[in-house]
Amino acid sequence: MSRVAVGHSLRQLAEIAGAELRGDPEIVVDRVSTLTDAERGAISFLANSRYRSYLSGTRASAVILAAEDAPDCPVPCLIAENPDLARARVMTALYPAPVPEPGVHPTAFVDPSARIAPSAVIAASCFIGPNVEIAEDVQIGPGCVLLDNVIIGTGSRLVGSVTLCADTQLGQRCLIHPGAVIGSDGFGLANDEGVWEKMPQVGRAVLGDDVEVGSCTSIDRGAIGDTSINDGVKIDSQVHIAHNVQIGEHTAIAGCSAVAGSSRVGRYCTIAGGAGITGHVELTDRVHISGASAVTRSIKKPGAYTGTVPAMEHATWLKNFARLRQLDDMVRRVRALEQELAVLRARDQTRD
């Protein structure tokens, strides 16, 4: 179901966004648009200084912006300390999520042992396996597959074509986008003289409350213990979370990133697109990994980290990286030698 816009007055939106209103509080807006495309009845936003030049010419009915930009705004405005956050709240009010009629579609298969709350929605062509538990106000979109013993908390939504493998557990208000696979087997293999033999994966994938998982993302079940995605974590599309990974509260992971097995990522971290975290390492809280960076060792100090090196022979890379780690010390030694050389030259000039 698509979202249908609902009109609100600027007075209402200012209260919702926690923003200061300058202008007529009774103006009604019913959509969001960019500064350049907005017409009457639309509210726009300025959250990035690169677009400030478009502010003076906007035809929006109102603009969400920061206090320093308000003097140059030619139309009513909502002034917020965090314009991005204010925009999110305004858009949520203007475009409320549709609420479908509860019930089970005739084309869905539901195992007799499954327990489904009366307010839940099971859309067309879903498969609900044995001992599945679906709480109140859950929405299971078309084509979803829920295998044995899956548990889904109140208010969670699977948009469509989502697979939750056996024993997977979702908390409350989770949002899982199309094509995501949660609880599949991790890459557990033993080598028998060059032949790979599969190792059973008997843990679970457990997601906390308010977790969002992007399209075509894969989260593996634990090999023995659980793979844990804690409260408030946001994961973008085409991300791979391997078995036994632990992701701390409110961490955000951008598209095409990967976290290898048994690694731990702390709380309030950000992992930018295309970054890779190797297995069995630990990132402390509030670590920020730049795009396409490769994390091969634990990070125990909060801060921003970047590291991208083109591929080369492994032995060469090891030697070069060992020298790179000595770079600061080498610079200090070179500077000390330069100072000593300058002193010697000064002495020679004095003697001359």
Active site residues: 243
Please classify residue 191 by burial: count the beta carbons closer than 10 Å to its beta carbon, then call 0-12 exposed, 13-18 middle and 19+ buried: exposed
Q: What is the DSSP secondary-structure string of 124-172? A: TT-EE-TT-EE-TT-EE-TT-EE-TT-EE-TT-EE-SS-EE-TT-EE-T
Sorted by sequence, the CB contacts under 8 Å of residue 82 that are 6+ apart come out as none
Tokens of 66: 């920061």
Q: What is the DSSP secondary-structure string of 173-200? A: T-EE-TT-EEEE----EEEETTEEEE--
**Dist CA 273 CA 123 (whole Å):** 33
Identify the helix (H) or strand (E) that includes residue 207: strand 205-207
The answer to whether the beta carbons of residues 288 and 270 sit under 8 Å apart is yes
The answer to whether the beta carbons of residues 61 and 40 sit under 8 Å apart is yes
SS3 261: coil
The answer to whether the beta carbons of residues 180 and 198 sit under 8 Å apart is no
**Dist CA 234 CA 278 (whole Å):** 20
